[in-house]
Structure 1
Amino acid sequence: MSESQADDPDNFSRRVPDGDDRRRLVCDTCGFIQYENPRIVVGVVAGWEDRILLCRRAIPPRTGFWTLPAGYLELGESPEAGAVREAWEEARAALEIDQLLAVYSITRISQVQLIYRARLSHARVEPGPESLEVGLFRFDEIPYQDIAFPSVLWALKDYRETLDQRGFPPRVEPAQRPPPAVPPAESDRQ
């Protein structure tokens, strides 16, 4: 396929290619199949003493809401390196990955999220270009009502449940895990 054909969306139609079982974008000129695959998101729940690092988003979606340092894995990058890079880009956080905390499959937006448990090297953090502000929060200080995405709540809950564990198997979640009914900090009080 020539570069001009690949750049021309009019050359593509959505159909089931021979030997396949689902509709794909196929070049009408040369038969090239453009596979559309899930995106891999990498991130961390990074702790410092009894606090968790959160970032207030400066970019869409969910601008102004709190999240974990996370983002898309780059080509040629290991998931661990991507998670470290995202923490630096969003919070200027230096950290060490402990282990994989969880894998979340979010099929409605075609994402697979790999979330790691990490330790901050020091408490000095500051907003990167994708964050309005960053902060270190105790579990009872986390602004649960202003969390950007359900997967952030899942990761905070999974982190809290594994705080004192080493070498635990990562949580691998079904495709449509619902958000926790109550924030993790309040669930211990019931």
Structure 2
Amino acid sequence: MLFNPRAIQHCRACGTAVEYRVPADDNRERAVCPACATVHYQNPINVVGTLPVWEDRVLLCKRAIEPRYGLWTLPAGFLELGETTEQGALRETDEEAGARIDLQGLYTVINVTRVGQVHLFYRARLLDPNFLPGAESLEARLFSEGEIPWDLLAFRTVRETLRCFFDDRRRERFELHCLDVG
């Protein structure tokens, strides 16, 4: 689903059809309600997840939901209101893989502007190799670099995060990566 800058049609406060115009003291066109003057802002959605590692292998989940049903991904999902990015990443890892982890820091920040999202992945150490996929995963499995199903990865952000990880591991130095994937 591509980002639609005119997706808002009606005011969330009163239900009146909105007008698109640049409000006073702003510099961008926004959905503005002509009845109650509410200005509606559209902001990127945050996706949070982890790159869980056990020894020399990474944990991937096979998706049991759309989009990209049946393809492999890192455990990740939408950040909920009222939680930090770290809390969301831990929750998503538990929900999708049933994995116990220790977060090791923010690893990739990836802008996906065409769909209005920002993906944040944390490096994580698996506390044990026992995990149980949740309702959104068909399977959860550990992969060495040579076993990664590169052609069956669900999202480009996952591919880029894995690429960064294996490159950094070879260099024996992990750093924060900020990327744009369109």
Q: Counterpart of 2:72 in structure 1: which amino acid?
A: W
Matched residue SS, 1:11: coil
1:1-190 matches, cutoff 5 A: 6=12, 9-163=15-169, 164-165=172-173, 168-173=174-179, 175-176=180-181
Q: Supply the distance in 1 between the matched residues of 2:14 and 2:42 (Cα, whole angstroms).
A: 17
The answer on whether the counterparts of 2:156 and 2:181 sit within 8 Å (CA) in structure 1 is no
Q: Aligned-pair distance for 1:10? A: 3.9
Structure 2: state its 5+ residue gaps: 1-10
Per-residue CA deviations over 1:82-103 (Å, capped at 9, x if unaligned) read 1111000000011000111111
Aligned length in residues: 171
3-state SS of the aligned residue for 1:6?
coil
Choose 10-19 or 56-65, whichever is displaced more.
Answer: 10-19
The structure 1 segments of at least 4 consecutive aligned residues displaced by more than 6 Å after TM superposition are none
Write the deviation string for residues 24-60 of structure 1: whole angstroms up to 9, x where unpaired.
1111211111111001111111101111100111111
Q: TM-score, normalised by structure 1?
A: 0.84
Shift of 1:15: 2.2
State the superposition RMSD in angstroms: 1.8
Task: Determine if contact 2:103/2:122 at 8 Å carries over to the other structure.
Answer: yes
Q: 1:169 to 1:49 in 2, by over 3 A?
A: closer
Structure 2: distance between partners of 1:26 and 1:133: 45
**Scaled by the length of structure 2, what TM-score is found?**
0.87
Other-structure match for 2:3: none
Q: Distance in 2 between matches of 1:88 and 1:78?
A: 15
Aligned equivalent of 2:8: none
Asked whether the equivalents of residues 51 and 58 of structure 2 are also in contact (C-alpha less than 8 Å), the reply is yes
Identity %: 45
The 1-side partners of 2:13 and 2:72 are apart by 37
